Amino acid sequence: MAQYDLETLRQLKRGELPFHLVHEMQSSHKDSDRFFKMLAIAQESVPWDDRILLPYAEHLYIVEKPDKSRVVKCDCGHEFGDYRRNWKLRALVYVRDTEEKINEIYPNMLGCDPEWMHLREYICPGCGTLLEVEAVPPGYPVVFDFQPDIDTFYEKWLKKPLNRE
């Protein structure tokens, strides 16, 4: 099992490693403390002190506040509220629902048909970062990607129960 030092993992997070090394890291068994190393790297990369419990998506984390509440938080510090509620409902949303809007990002004739599909762009109100894009039929409900069972993950998978006191 390969062990990777923190600097190599920082380079992985920043997208600075050559493809062959990324492929090797993704394909091989993970070192037993990789999750905690990546948490430490994520924690040092953000300007706030709330404890990161779980990376949720690129630029998004589930964090534990000093009062033990758990929220979805962006790199910039903007909070989207309780992690058990869909963070997208508190994001700025830009919907590409016309040919004109779709052609802003796709060359003519290569985009989707707006009568069949809309592109929803979810943007952080705090920093303007594009956080996610959904390609959905018109009128489709907002997708709730997943709701992790954080306590079970820490207790049963990581064998390190969280202190909830």
Q: What mean pLDDT is predicted for residues 70-94?
A: 98
Domain ranges of the chain: 1-45, 46-157
* pLDDT tens digit sequence for 15-41: 999 999 999 988 988 888 889 999 999
What is the number of other CB atoms lying within 10 angstroms of the CB of residue 20? Answer: 8
Q: Is 54 helix (H, G, I), strand (E, B) or coil?
A: strand
Q: What secondary structure letter does DSSP report for 39? A: H
Least confident of 46-50, 114-118, 154-158, 160-164: 160-164
Question: Quick one: residue 159, left, alpha or beta (phi over 0 = left, psi -120 to 50 = alpha)?
Answer: left
Q: What secondary structure letter does DSSP report for 153? A: I
- Contact indicator for 164, 64 with CB cutoff of 8 Å: no
Q: Is 145 helix (H, G, I), strand (E, B) or coil?
A: coil
Q: Give the pLDDT of residue 108.
A: 82
Q: What mean pLDDT is predicted for residues 152-161?
A: 93
CA 10/CA 25 separation, integer angstroms:
13
The string of DSSP letters for 68-92 reads: S-EEEEETTS-EEEETTS-GGGGSE
